[in-house]
Structure 1
Amino acid sequence: MTVPVVIGGFAESEVHSVLEEACRRIGVDPVGAEMLRGHTNAVFRLKGAGAVAKIARAGTPVADVQRTVRLVQWLSSQDFPTVELLPVEQPVLVGEHAITFWQYLPQPADPVPAALLAEPLRTLHRLSPPPFDVRTLDTVGAIRRSLAAITGLPPADLSFLAQRLDHLESALAEVRYAVRPGLLQGDPQHRNALHHGGSAVLCDWDTACFGPPELDCVTVEIHCRRFGYGRAHYEQFAERYGFDVTGWSGYGVLRDLRELRMITTNAKRAAAGTSTLGEVVSRVEGLRRDRHDLRWNIL
C-alpha cells in the first residue's frame, strides 16, 4: 500500500495551494519554494523574497498562531535574539489555516552547537514577564492529550505509556526547583536556533510558555544525548548557561517527562506503515528497557 505524502498534516497538493494563496495575499512570489521542514508544520523557503513561510500544522487553532506572533513581536521589541517576522500583518489566514512569514537567514551546513543556545536561553529565562498572558507549562496535560489521540500503537504500549505518566505525575509533585520560573522557549534544541554572525538566534516559538527554566535545560541535554551530539556538546552548554541540570535532584523526573512528551507527540502523528511509527515503537521499547543511552533518529 502506498502511504500518501503528508506535509504538516496536509495532503501535498493542499499545502502548496495554501502556500500560493498566502503568498499572493502579501505580494511575494512562491515560485521555486523549497520545503525546509514538513513533519510538524510546513516550512518553506521563498528564495525570491528572502523569506520563510510557515504554515501551521493542519488543525492548529488560529489563536495559537496569533499568540506566537504577539510574543515574537514583543521579544523583538526587547532586542531579544529571535528570528524576525516580516513587516506584514500576521498571521495570514487562508481558510482555517494560519501562515506566518519570517526573515530568511542563510545557514552553514552544521547546526547551531548547544553552547550557542546558552546565552539566549539564559537571557530569555531572566526577562520580565511580557504585558500579556503567556500560557503556563502543562507537560502532563499535553501528554494526556497526545495519548488520547494516538491510533497507531497497540493497547499494551498505550497502557505502558499511561502508567509511566501516572508515576511521573506523582513524582513531579515532589520536585523542588532550583531556578526561578520564567519565560521558556519550550523546545530549545540545535534545529530551533539559527546561526547569526558568531552567535545564535532562537526560532520556533510554538511551545513557548511560562514555567521552570530547568525544563529548557533538560530539553537541550536530551537532544545532545539522544541525537548523537554527545556529552561534550551538553557540557559546553551547561558551562555557559551557569547551571548543570543533570546534577539537580529533579533531573530524572523532568528528563523522563520531557522524553515521554517527545514520544507521544510524534506517536499521535504517526500513520501505520511510516518510518515515523517505526521510530516511535523503537523509542517506546527503549523506555521499557530503561535505555537512556539509546540513540534516537530525528523526526
Structure 2
Amino acid sequence: MDLDPHGARLLRFTNNAVYQLASAPLVVRIVGSRALRHRVRKVVQVATWFAEHDVPAVRLAAGISQPVLVGDYAATVWDAVPPFDRRPRPADLARLLRIVHPLSPPLDGLPEWDPLDDVRRRIGEAEGLDGDELSFLRDRCDQVAEQLARLDYVLAPGFVHGDAHLGNLIPAPDGPLLCDFDSSCVGPPEWDLTPLAVGVRRFGEPAALYAELVEGYGFDVTRWAGFPVLREVRELKLITSVLPIMNSSPEVRPELLRRLRDFRSGDDDAQWSRYT
C-alpha cells in the first residue's frame, strides 16, 4: 500500500512521533528512540491479540505488513478513529482494565514486567544532561529496583497495559478505545492503577478522578504498602520520557529539569506541567 505523507499533521511527539495522514484515514506512529525500537513488534502482537479478543482498542491498518521498518526507523500504521466529542472518564479506564487484566496473554509470550528497562535505555540516550544528573538517575534506578524486588503484591499477576492513563484512551462513538501498547507486559495489575494516582499528586488532577477509578475497578492502590515504590517508578518514567529528544525538542528541557530538581530534593508535593 502506497501512502502519501503530504499534509500529515503531527498529533504528539514524546516517545513516538504520531501523525494523522491527510491522504487517508490512517495514523502513523514512528518510534522516537532507537533504544526502544525493540518494542514495536510487541505493539503489533498486542494489537493483533486485542483484535482477536474484541477488546475495545485501536486497530492496525489492514493490508500493511507491520511493523514498517525503514533504515533506522520503525513505525506502525493504524486506522484513524473518527472524531468524537466525549472525553474519556476514569470509569472508562476502570472498565477497560477489568476487561484486559483477566485475559490470558498470547501463547508466544509477552515480556515480564520490567518498568525500569525503558528508563535505563532513555538515560543511555540522554541528550543535554551533565554527568552528575545522569549518575543520580542511574543510582536511583538501582535503589528502586531493589525495593521493587521486595514487594508483595495483592492482585493476581496477568496482562498489564503498562501506561494506563486517560491520555491513552481515545474517544469513540461506541466508547473509549485503548491505545499505546509500548509498555504492555505480564505483571502486577497494581501498576496500571498507579498513573492516575500519581497524576493527582504531580499534575494537580482532581482527587475525584482517582476516586472514580477506584470505585470502578474495586481496588485502591494508594492504600497498599507498596504504592510509594510504584509512585517513584512512575515519576522516574515521567522525568526521563523525553531524554532522547531534548536536543531536537528543546522546549521540553525546562520542564524536565524542574521535575528532576523536585525529585532529587525529595519534594513529593511539587506540581509538574505536562510536556506539550
With normalisation by structure 2, the TM-score equals: 0.89
Retained in 1: the 8 A contact 2:163–2:183? yes
CA distance in 1, matches of 2:33, 2:84: 30
Retained in 2: the 8 A contact 1:183–1:208? yes
Higher alpha-carbon deviation: 59-68 or 126-135: 59-68
Compute the displacement of 1:173 (Å): 2.5
Match of 2:25 among 50, 63, 66: 50
> Counterpart in 2 of 1:41?
16
Retained in 1: the 8 A contact 2:36–2:121? no
CA distance in 1, matches of 2:207, 2:37: 39
Change (3 A) 1:97 1:137: same
CA distance in 2, matches of 1:177, 1:214: 8
CA distance in 2, matches of 1:86, 1:109: 23
Match of 1:59 among 31, 34, 39: 34
Higher alpha-carbon deviation: 139-148 or 279-288: 139-148
> Counterpart in 2 of 1:187?
163
Compute the displacement of 1:286 (Å): 1.3
CA distance in 2, matches of 1:104, 1:95: 25
Higher alpha-carbon deviation: 160-169 or 96-105: 160-169
1:74 aligned onto 2:53: no
1:283 aligned onto 2:273: no
Retained in 2: the 8 A contact 1:105–1:196? yes
Match of 2:73 among 97, 120, 123: 97
CA distance in 2, matches of 1:285, 1:62: 29
> Counterpart in 1 of 2:6?
31
Alignment: residue pair count: 274
Retained in 2: the 8 A contact 1:189–1:220? yes
Match of 1:169 among 145, 150, 169: 145
CA distance in 1, matches of 2:76, 2:160: 21
Compute the displacement of 1:87 (Å): 0.9
SS at structure 2 position matched to 1:37: strand
Q: Percent identity?
A: 35
Higher alpha-carbon deviation: 136-145 or 242-251: 136-145
Retained in 1: the 8 A contact 2:155–2:189? yes
Instruction: Give unpaired runs (5+ residues) of structure 1.
Output: 1-25
Retained in 2: the 8 A contact 1:125–1:183? yes
One-letter code of the match for 1:218? T
Compute the displacement of 1:58 (Å): 5.0
One-letter code of the match for 1:165? C
Misfit runs of 4+, over 6 Å: none
SS at structure 2 position matched to 1:115: helix
CA distance in 2, matches of 1:254, 1:63: 24
With normalisation by structure 1, the TM-score equals: 0.83
Match of 1:210 among 182, 186, 190: 186
> Counterpart in 1 of 2:203?
227
> Counterpart in 2 of 1:243?
219
SS at structure 2 position matched to 1:32: coil
Retained in 2: the 8 A contact 1:115–1:234? no
What is the CA deviation profile of residues 84-123 of structure 1, one whole-angstrom value per residue up to 9, with x for unaligned ones? 1111222233334222211111345664232211111122
SS at structure 1 position matched to 2:139: helix
Compute the displacement of 1:60 (Å): 5.6
Compute the displacement of 1:221 (Å): 1.7
SS at structure 2 position matched to 1:204: coil
Change (3 A) 1:272 1:66: closer
One-letter code of the match for 2:88? V
Compute the displacement of 1:207 (Å): 1.4
Compute the displacement of 1:35 (Å): 1.2
Match of 1:149 among 125, 141, 151: 125
Q: CA RMSD in A?
A: 2.3
CA distance in 2, matches of 1:95, 1:285: 37
